[in-house]
Amino acid sequence: MPFVKCAVDGCNTRLQPILEPVLEDRNTWIYPECDVCYRPVCDKHSSHMDGQLVCTDCRKKAIAETHSALIHLDITPLDER
Ligand SMILES: [Zn+2]
Ligand SMILES: [Zn+2]
């Protein structure tokens, strides 16, 4: 029986379903997943951003994009002041 695992590099934490609509059918089970890349992620590798669950990979990407957008606008990101 394959388990759903966290998709963040080198983690492989086995995920617990958050919803089991049909107990006998694992295909219906709902696991916590990133709202950006839709990969399953564990608690440790996900965080809430703007009301969405975002994995650490997408979070890093989003932060990098925000930073380059701010640099483009010649605004120094808050945490680098
Ligand atoms: Zn993601
Ligand atoms: Zn993880």
Q: What is the CATH number of the domain that holds 11?
A: 2.10.110
- Of all ligands present, the nearest one to the C-alpha of 61 is 1
> In which band, very low, low, confident or very high, does the pLDDT at 74 lie, cut at 50, 70 and 90?
confident
Residues around ion ligand 2, judged by CB within 5 A, are 6, 8, 11, 13, 42, 45
Ligand 2 center from residue 72 Cα (angstroms): 33
- Three-state SS string across 27-70, please? HHCECCECCCCCCECCHHHEEEECCEEEEHHHHHHHHHHHHHHH
Structural domains counted in the chain:
1
| Residue 38 falls in which region: left (phi positive, over 0), alpha (psi -120 to 50) or beta | left
Look up the domain containing 39 and give its range.
Answer: 1-81
Ligand 2 center from residue 55 Cα (angstroms): 9
| pTM value surpassing 0.85 | no
Q: What tens digit of pLDDT does each residue of 14-45 get?
A: 999 999 999 999 999 999 999 999 999 999 99
First to last CA, the chain: 51
Ligand 2 center from residue 25 Cα (angstroms): 24
